[in-house]
Structure 1
Amino acid sequence: MDIRIAPAGVDDFHRVLADHPRYWGERDLRSLHLLALVQEFGHTCLVARAEDGIRGYVFGFVTPDGTGYVHLIATREDARGAGLGRRLYTAFAKAAERHGARRLKAITSVGNSGSIAFHRSLGFEAEVVDDYNGPGLAMAVFHRGLPLDVS
């Protein structure tokens, strides 16, 4: 099946939210999905489209200091294990570089072993930062330089 990665639009955002459990399972992360990211940073908010809908997405932006920040990345449950997450990250990294990024950053909860392993496989360094998300809310913070060549 042909999968095309392209900038996300408002309709894509609403489709992703409507199918939220197919990407995130039992975890309700809808509050982290910010339409403003798609509207204001459309060049770095991407969806992977196939005939049967959106297979995955990455929402992120480039900070003023040249960091490509990945806010969310997800693949649909029936699209996992085929390298789509890597393809999305690569597409995001290229888009971020075109907009001045020199490095990448992402965060996840310290208990999200799947995300931690995935980011490490992409060459990210990880550190646990205490109180990153508020008092008592440590997060795993990932950093790596660009370019990202993980094909």
Structure 2
Amino acid sequence: MIFIMGIHIEPAGVADFHQVLTDHSRYWGERDLRSLHLLALVQEFGSTCLVARAPDGIRGYIFGFVTPDGTGYVHLIATRDDARGTGLGRRLYGAFTEAAERHGARRLKAITSIENTGSIAFHRSLGFDMKVVDDYGGPGRAMAVFHRDLPLSFSWP
């Protein structure tokens, strides 16, 4: 568990997963991404699915896992509407990176839609390389694919 400024970053549980879905619009606004939230990730990869917990609830979360080839894959990362711009996303990535390294990760990977300019800017600010891959999300659906080698050359706040 990581404790920073009144926020505990810790492994997500099933109840946390359900709370995130209940408060979905606080994290994702009008975009309905509930279908991307997979309970199996929390159940099977609990040490790399993390929540940032504060006295007023879950401020953010990151769900991911480590692949057999040593890639720490971030499936979802979100911060609640009242926690954006605080550096919490960066701290969640740092906590995920530490957990992924403990499980043998040598690199990080994330994916987003090419229209998601906020996510693209965020990942680039973390030093990820980005490549647009045609048909990655299915026929005619290009995706932005991010990679970053570990260890990181800077510390996370």
Q: Same fold (TM over 0.5)?
A: yes
**1:12 is paired with a residue of what secondary structure?**
helix
- Equivalent residues in 2 for 1:137-148 (5 A)? 137-148=141-152
Does 2:25 correspond to 1:21? yes
Shift of residue 135, structure 1, vs aligned partner? 0.5
Does 2:39 correspond to 1:35? yes
Shift of residue 146, structure 1, vs aligned partner? 1.1
Question: How far apart in 2 are the matches of 1:96 and 1:109?
Answer: 24
Shift of residue 125, structure 1, vs aligned partner? 0.3
Task: Identify unmatched segments of 5+ residues in structure 2.
Answer: none
Q: Find the counterpart in structure 2 of residue 94 from structure 1.
A: 98
Letter in 1 for 2:124: R
Letter in 2 for 1:86: R
Does 2:10 correspond to 1:10? no
Q: Find the counterpart in structure 1 of residue 133 from structure 2.
A: 129
**1:47 is paired with a residue of what secondary structure?**
strand
Letter in 1 for 2:86: A
Question: How far apart in 2 are the matches of 1:122 and 1:150?
Answer: 9
Q: Could you list the runs of 4 or more consecutive aligned residues of structure 1 that deviate by over 6 angstroms after TM superposition?
A: none
Q: Find the counterpart in structure 2 of residue 112 from structure 1.
A: 116
Aligned to 2:73, which of 69, 73, 86? 69
TM-score normalized by the length of structure 2: 0.95
Letter in 2 for 1:39: Q
Question: How far apart in 1 are the matches of 2:115 and 2:141?
Answer: 12
Letter in 2 for 1:18: T
Shift of residue 95, structure 1, vs aligned partner? 0.1
**How many pairs are equivalent?**
151
Question: How far apart in 2 are the matches of 1:55 and 1:9?
Answer: 15
Task: Identify unmatched segments of 5+ residues in structure 1.
Answer: none
**2:86 is paired with a residue of what secondary structure?**
coil
Q: Find the counterpart in structure 1 of residue 107 from structure 2.
A: 103
* Identical columns (%): 82
TM-score normalized by the length of structure 1: 0.98
